[in-house]
Amino acid sequence: MLPVGRFFGVPIFFAPSWLLIGALLTVYYAPIVTDAVPDTSASTAYLLSAVFAVLFACCVLAHELGHTAVSLALGNPVRRVVIFLLGGVSELERDPSRPRDEFLVAAAGPLVSLLIAGAATVGYQFVDGATLPGVLLALLIWSNLVVAVFNLLPGLPLDGGRLLRAAVWAIGPSRLAATRAAAWAGRCQAVLVGVSGLVIDRSSWGLTAGLLSIALAVYLWFGATQSLKVGELMDRLPNVSLESLLRPGLLVPSDLSVAEALRRVWSGNARGLVLVDTADQPRAIVDEELIGAVPPERRAWTQLSEVARPLEPGLILRAGLAGEDLLSAVRATPAHEYLVVHEDGTPAGILAVADLAAKLQGAT
């Protein structure tokens, strides 16, 4: 990922895959420029196409920043914005909590694209369409209209799918039911796009267009499926609390061997290890994957400190966390285990991410 800046603190990235679509746009539109402006040299046509590719990327970025700006205005943080091969995405920290907010965030992107198309249309009135500026403005009008209209198709993961979800959510029984409706609509659109890629007239559009259509169909199908999975997860989230997931932990000195620590765990029916200093204060937590990877013949010679992670603030969770607050705390500092403490700072137990994931997936 190539970082290109920040928007009100939100990092913006361009994925390397965008270079492919940029190259394809340059190659595809250069002949169109030559046809529209006959006296144009090949090098100039390719240069203008390359300029259009860059401006188009900026337009896609502006589309995503529209989502970001409205989300931030509604008090919903955005993790990052990424521009990639098939478009862009604004990664929200959490989904909007009301249908109205969902509608406003989803509508902002297409609205920005329509505004850019409108501004380019105004500029087009003051230039000759058979000139390089005229061709560039015409391409910007057409491309932004395509982006707006395509994104308004009513199916997840597109903006239109989020608008559909907001509408069904507002009048339906639940957000999950709305997500299911919008996700299946998105899957149907994925099939239609994929079929169009298989039957496309290659004599006029070329094999590349067909392959891109199929790639887009795959992206839409998996995007709709992922949206459905996330919707089901978020439906279970309010019922998840730390207390229901706590593992009993064992406080041990850091110079203890892995073999002795495991013996104490098995004999004491504990399911986690926390390293303490000489004052019995927690200082590190043992990584379950790391300690499990130590070969049996080396366990007597390996100290726990070698398979533990220091307890930085993000690895200590306060008892009582639940729902989205719990998920946000885990996302902020990714790890396999966390130490959970009472209000007075005394250890309450250990949270294993595997247990949280199983709970969210409905396995427990």
Q: What is the pLDDT of residues 125-170, one digit of tens each?
A: 999 988 999 999 999 999 999 999 999 999 999 999 999 999 999 9
- What is the DSSP secondary-structure string of 52-82? HHHHHHHHHHHHHHHHHHHHHHTT--EEEEE
pLDDT(201) > 70 = no
Q: What is the mean pLDDT of residues 79-103?
A: 90
pLDDT band, very low/low/confident/very high, at 208 (cuts 50, 70, 90): low
In whole angstroms, give the CA distance from residue 47 to residue 93: 39
Region 29-39: mean pLDDT is 90
Task: Check residues 230 and 213 and name the one with the higher pLDDT.
Answer: 230
Pick the range with the lowest mean pLDDT from 137-141, 193-197, 311-315, 325-329: 193-197
Percent of the residues in the chain that have a pLDDT greater than 90, as a whole number: 64
pLDDT (0 to 100) of residue 93: 85
> Residue 268: its pLDDT value, please?
79
Percent of the chain with pLDDT over 70: 96
Task: With cut-offs at 50, 70 and 90, classify the pLDDT of residue 87.
Answer: confident
Task: Decide: residue 185, CB within 10 A, 0-12 exposed, 13-18 middle, 19+ buried.
Answer: buried
Residue 357 has pLDDT above 90, yes or no: no
Asked if residue 76 has pLDDT above 50, the reply is yes
Sole residue written with tokens 């706590």: 246
Distances (CA, A) of 329 to 89, 102, 242, 245, 351: 23, 23, 11, 15, 12
* Band of residue 203 on the pLDDT scale cut at 50, 70, 90: very low
More confident: 364 or 264: 264
CATH 3.10.580.10 corresponds to the domain 250-360: yes
Tell me what the mean pLDDT of segment 309-322 comes to.
91
Cα dist from 177 to 184, 232, 352, 361, whole Å: 11, 9, 30, 17
Per-residue model confidence as pLDDT tens digits over 236-278: 888 888 888 999 989 999 889 999 999 988 887 788 899 998 8
3-state secondary structure of 89: strand
pLDDT interval class at 209 (50, 70, 90): low
Domain ranges of the chain: 2-236, 250-360
pLDDT of 204 > 50? The answer is no
Looking at residue 299, the DSSP 8-state letter turns out to be: G
Task: Write down the pLDDT at residue 223.
Answer: 93
